[in-house]
Structure 1
Amino acid sequence: MADSVLRLRDDPELRSMVEKRIAEFLEVKEMGTEKWFEELTYCLLTAYSSARLGQLCVDALCDRDALLHGDLDQVKETLRTQGHRFAEKRAEYIVMARELAPTLKETIQGFQDIKAAREWLAMNVKGLGWKESSHFLRNVGYLDVAIIDRHIISNLMDHGILEERPKSITKRRYLEYEGILAEVARSVGMALGEMDLYLWYRKTGKVLK
């Protein structure tokens, strides 16, 4: 896997795309808690959906001033209008998560260990599991976590690290896979969050947040 990542990094156009995306994450890290809540909402919406649809929904919520201030029905209707198939449940998650919004950034930054922050998110934000919590943290500039989705699992299988696709990913299994990826990342001199973008590109041809 390390050789595959290094070959991808040797592509100057791709490397530029990855570096630009990383710079965006670090820029968000310096923004306010409302922007962080926007990213949290994005990660709630991309679960079992797509990055593209998640962003469309977030943009629509922001345009209608419904992200933080719309009632449950407004949020549901906005998500339905954008074609989100889990509009009702995701709307509930977004509205429930709002109580965290005013202090979200402060809370996350209060953890000395970002892995502890991830566990707190997975335990306290309805709709966020380990993958989504990692996704959020990466998108707000914390690069030392792995986002283990189906594309990353496919990469692990392609390189003979996994023999078959797991039916589910428990906390124990998530941390096991993250440990494997961390070893690869160290061997190529990258942060996990950076390597994830190369591996995701390898399966999708895109560098998305």
Structure 2
Amino acid sequence: MIYEGRQLQAAVASICPDIESRVAQFRDPADERALWWELSVCVLSSQVPFNLAIAAAEAIDKLGVLYCSQQRENVGEAIHCILRTHLNVGGRERLYRFPSVRAVQLERIHASVLANADSLKALLAGFETANHARRWLVANAHGLGPKQASMFLRNVALTYDLAIIDRHVLDYMSLTGLQSNAGSAVSSLKHYLPLEDVLRVHAEDLKCPVGILDWAIWIVMRIAKQQKGYAQ
């Protein structure tokens, strides 16, 4: 079956209410440990399989080096040692692809957070809006672009008013005519925000938060692509 833009839009609209109902049950604020776990996953999942990023984040979490505010020295060295060891991923031993780069990025994020607040939780609580929090993360959390920062803020249930614009969402925007040439993944807020504004208007038409809309788009487009069932 070939899905046209209007059919994709109808499919997205049909599942938005269900997603919104489900997430409403899980809005409890994350604690410090959970915040650092989610943030490390967002950094570690860039250009590697997600299950490998999860395994790496779990190993770092067990060490406690990020969520322990007293730990201010040798953070990068400790993380680097973990990322250089074999990780258990689905019963198989795997090596993480970018141990040095990600260790430095997480070390810098940790230092930036503690230079501005007593904890990551306190830092996030101090922002007036989720958009302000995202801007800070993009500017100060090395390794996080606007998509990853938006994902982090949604995963910790801080907001559903920011969009996660990935390849699926960009394809949906092109196929439905929301954006004639959505282009490839965007890494700067300058190019990200106009696309998010378009999605936000679309979300208002469907009467759901933009963070719920992009989730529904991801589900629909992933299924359509697996079936190779959308019109080019």
Larger radius of gyration: 2
**Partner deviation per Cα, 1:22-75 (whole Å, 9 max, x = no partner):** 644x23xx2312211111111111223343332232123334556557614323
**Partner deviation per Cα, 1:154-182 (whole Å, 9 max, x = no partner):** 11122123334525623222100000010
State the secondary structure of the residue aligned to 1:10.
helix
C-alpha displacement of 1:183 = 0.6
TM-score normalised according to structure 2 size: 0.73
Alignment of 1:1-209 (within 5 A): 4-8=8-12, 10=14, 19-20=21-22, 23-24=25-26, 26-27=27-28, 30-63=29-62, 65=64, 71-78=78-85, 82-99=94-111, 100=113, 102-141=118-157, 142-167=159-184, 169=186, 170-205=188-223
Q: Retained in 2: the 8 A contact 1:18–1:194?
A: yes
C-alpha displacement of 1:124 = 0.8
Cα RMSD between the aligned structures? 3.0
Which structure shows the bigger proportion of residues in helix conformation?
A: 1
Q: Retained in 2: the 8 A contact 1:146–1:178?
A: yes
Q: Tell me, in whole angstroms, the C-alpha distance in 1 between the residues paired with 2:165 and 2:171.
A: 10
State the secondary structure of the residue aligned to 1:49.
coil
Sequence identity of aligned pairs in percent?
A: 23
* Between 158-167 and 195-204, the greater mean CA deviation after superposition: 158-167
Query: For residues 32 and 168 of structure 1, do their structure 2 counterparts lie closer, same or farther at Cα, with a shift above 3 Å needed?
Result: closer
Length, aligned pairs only: 201
Q: Retained in 2: the 8 A contact 1:58–1:67?
A: no
TM-score normalised according to structure 1 size: 0.80
